[in-house]
């Protein structure tokens, strides 16, 4: 039942100690405020990193050639490893049951592309149809490349939305011819990429067509494969790591590379990288919680101190209450109410201030690795429970001390 007189008594007690109450409340409010801001930015970091991984397929293995750094079986270091179609086909056949999507790449950096009087420099990539899913590319117009385009080495192209805007302006690009280093390609599709304009500044050609047009013979620049996902994240990570290691071993044996040479062939596994980064994010979040809780504890100590002072100042009153029959639990409840009130009021002020600041500042942050910093409902509820617990903890020892005061001694207090 709501006791108006009791709450008036609490307000009067706190009013008499208004300076101490204000400073203590400020300490609690600042602790909650700092905790909310830290947790909000922790969530922002998680959102940003997740967004970076969503730009490409989630279970992706990418393979890049390099230069040998160790002598092996009579071959000198300094050899450049050149991948060929056969390397890709061998991996594709051997791990067919595990592979979901795949593509080999023949890349020309900064290729000159023209349409009528417009021109630009873009990344030209010969790819296979599976690259649409590796890139997470959405087709806005037309279609993506298909296996018929690859088998017949057709001179067709799929352009990124940025390329469309630069070269075609408001004109429909489908079935129009663009020139890539003087070679005509018919545009059959326009794609959008989650990575934004940077990843939309590409022109995709059928792999075989690009190799023929630019004297690539059967050479490829790199290879990418996505693996079929398991429902169990840890199992998927282990399987992905095992297949990555097996592919690396196969390629090193084929190209006669020292097993300990880490520069000759690089195999990157997004599942392993994701696991490391999400582990780091969890660590950062734990550190933020530790710092925030530490700040709150400082405020709680302040609340405990002011409650001790209040108990000391009200010793005679407590003695009178006990002499009139007040039970120890009612004395404890009286002190705890005041403690929880100070903590809750100050903490909720800090919580609302922190949430408000995140709502205002969050949308203004322009960073790839911090996106939409916010505190979700569950975290906010957790913070409220922390406030209640902190208030009760801060008032418990002063309340216990008040409950132990003997009436005869309390009445003698001056």
pTM: 0.60
Q: Which residues contact 156 (CB under 8 A, 6 or more apart)?
A: 145, 149, 185, 186, 187, 188, 205, 206, 209
pLDDT in tens, the chain (414 residues): 445 554 455 445 545 555 555 656 666 677 778 778 888 877 777 777 666 655 555 688 999 999 999 999 999 999 999 999 999 999 999 999 999 999 999 999 889 999 999 999 999 999 999 999 888 888 999 999 999 999 999 999 999 999 999 999 889 999 999 999 999 999 999 999 876 778 899 999 999 999 999 998 999 999 999 988 666 667 777 888 899 999 999 999 999 999 999 999 999 887 766 666 667 777 777 877 787 777 777 767 776 676 666 666 666 666 666 666 767 677 667 767 766 777 777 777 877 888 888 888 777 776 666 767 777 767 777 777 776 777 677 677 766 776 666 666 655 555
DSSP assignment letter at 114: E
- Inter-CA distances, 121 with 108, 118, 167, Å: 10, 11, 11
Q: Rounded to an integer, what distance in angstroms lies between the CA atom of residue 361 and that of residue 234?
A: 36
Q: How far is C-alpha 123 from the chain's CA centre?
A: 28
Determine contact, residues 91/227, Cβ cutoff 8 Å.
no
Determine contact, residues 383/355, Cβ cutoff 8 Å.
no
Q: Rounded to an integer, what distance in angstroms lies between the CA atom of residue 110 and that of residue 99?
A: 31
Neighbours of 384 (CB within 10 A): 15
């Amino acid at each position: 039942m709501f006791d108006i007189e009791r709450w008036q008594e609490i307000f009067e007690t706190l009013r008499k100690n208004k300076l101490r109450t204000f400073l203590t409340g400020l300490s609690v409010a600042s602790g909650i405020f700092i905790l909310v801001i830290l947790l909000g930015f922790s969530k922002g970091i998680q959102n940003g990193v997740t967004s970076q991984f969503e730009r490409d397929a989630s279970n992706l293995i990418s393979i890049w050639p390099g230069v040998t750094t160790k002598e092996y079986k009579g071959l000198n270091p300094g050899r450049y490893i050149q991948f060929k179609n056969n390397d890709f086909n061998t991996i594709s056949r051997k791990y067919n049951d595990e592979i979901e999507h795949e593509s080999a790449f023949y890349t020309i950096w900064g290729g000159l592309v023209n349409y009528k009087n417009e021109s630009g420099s873009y990344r030209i990539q010969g790819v296979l149809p599976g690259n649409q899913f590796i890139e997470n590319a959405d087709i806005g117009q037309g279609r993506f490349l298909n296996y018929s385009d690859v088998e017949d080495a057709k001179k067709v192209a799929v352009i990124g939305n940025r390329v469309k805007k630069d070269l075609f302006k408001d004109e429909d690009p489908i079935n129009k011819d663009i020139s890539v280093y003087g070679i005509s390609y018919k545009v059959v599709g326009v794609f959008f990429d989650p990575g934004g304009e940077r990843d939309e500044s590409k022109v995709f050609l059928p792999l075989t067509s690009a190799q023929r047009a630019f004297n690539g013979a059967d050479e490829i620049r790199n290879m990418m494969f996505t693996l079929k996902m398991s429902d169990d994240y840890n199992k998927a990570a282990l399987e992905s790591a095992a297949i990555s290691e097996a592919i690396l071993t196969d390629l090193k044996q084929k190209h006669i590379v020292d097993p300990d040479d880490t520069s000759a062939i690089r195999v990157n596994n997004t599942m392993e990288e994701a696991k490391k980064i999400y582990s780091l994010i969890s660590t950062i979040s734990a550190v933020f919680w530790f710092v925030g809780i530490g700040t709150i504890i400082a405020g709680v100590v302040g609340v405990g101190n002011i409650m001790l002072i209040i108990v000391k100042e009200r010793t005679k009153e407590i003695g009178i209450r006990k002499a009139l029959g007040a039970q120890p639990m009612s004395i404890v409840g009286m002190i705890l109410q005041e403690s929880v009130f100070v903590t809750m009021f100050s903490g909720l002020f800090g919580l609302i201030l922190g949430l408000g600041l995140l709502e205002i500042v969050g949308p203004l942050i322009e960073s790839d690795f911090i996106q939409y910093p916010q505190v979700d409902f569950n975290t906010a509820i957790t913070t409220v429970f922390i406030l209640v617990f902190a208030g009760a903890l801060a008032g418990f020892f002063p309340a216990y001390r008040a409950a132990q005061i003997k009436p005869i001694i309390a009445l003698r207090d001056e």
